[in-house]
Amino acid sequence: MSMDKRIHVYYSGIVQGVGFRFTAERIAQQARLCGYVRNLDDGRVEVVCEGSEASLGDFLSRVQQIFDGQIRDTNVERQNATGEFNGFDIRF
């Protein structure tokens, strides 16, 4: 799978303590994306994913659909992939 694109996403709202990281990890692994998800001290969740444009779009759509009632704001920055990740995991 082509890992030519990267998204750096910040989610805000009620996104900590609701299974967000574990769900994002599952969705990313199913889509064969590489990167990580982690909680931030300010209450947001940060996600960095690399993969094909289609897989990244699917990831964003699925997360939004599942957590529609909890997400207040989504800030997505699109970049070129760096290839630095070997899989997708939760960072603590």
Predicted confidence (pLDDT) at residue 1 exceeds the cutoff of 80: no
Known active-site residue 21: yes
Known active-site residue 39: yes
15-41 burial, b at 16+ Cβ within 10 Å, e below that, comes to: bbeeebbeebbebbeebebbbbbebee
Active-site choice (21, 38, 72, 78):
21
Over pLDDT 70: what percentage of the chain? Answer: 97
* CATH no., domain 5-82: 3.30.70.100
pLDDT digits (tens, 9 = 90+) for 49-86: 999 999 999 999 999 999 999 999 999 999 999 999 99
Active-site choice (38, 39, 44, 75):
39
* Annotated domain spans of the chain: 5-82
Give residue 79's pLDDT. 96
